[in-house]
Structure 1
Amino acid sequence: MDTGRGAARRIESITGRIVPDDANRLMTIAETAARLGTSRARVGKLLACGRLRFIKKGSVKLISKYTLNAFIRQLEESGEDMECIG
């Protein structure tokens, strides 16, 4: 499934309008937890143990939508649980 620039260009050519690409949108821990269907505490643990990468803006930890989607794909492909290992 192509959800990147190619998909946006195809939509633009079909509809005649530009579709914004929010693949690199930064999400808060609460938004990330909602997308994963889990708690903010569990997302915090995933960040702390390095399973989910983040950037910091001041004291706020932010997760890119691209990074979250890659994390979800990895879970789907590996069949792993959403827990920290080790």
Structure 2
Amino acid sequence: MNFKHYNQNQLVLFPYSFEDLIPENHPVRIVNDILDKVNIAPLLKVYSREGNPSYHPVMMLKVMVFAYMNNIYSSRKIEKAM
């Protein structure tokens, strides 16, 4: 598949990891853990291998589920929340 690379453990100047920004009991950790276990093989079959790379569907699903959990439905508000 042709997806844009994403790395949740990417280092930044400060803090050193996004893990440092998210409290241990934050709901986003539950969303992350559950959606990492979902079988997305049927979803991957519909993605085109042509054109520019897409963002990984699991990452996009995590964003949408977390946004909806927080009653955020506007794409601009989701962007701001991220």
Same fold (TM over 0.5): no
TM-score, scaled relative to structure 1: 0.30
**Is the radius of gyration larger for structure 1 or structure 2?**
1
TM-score, scaled relative to structure 2: 0.31
Q: Which has the higher strand share?
A: 1
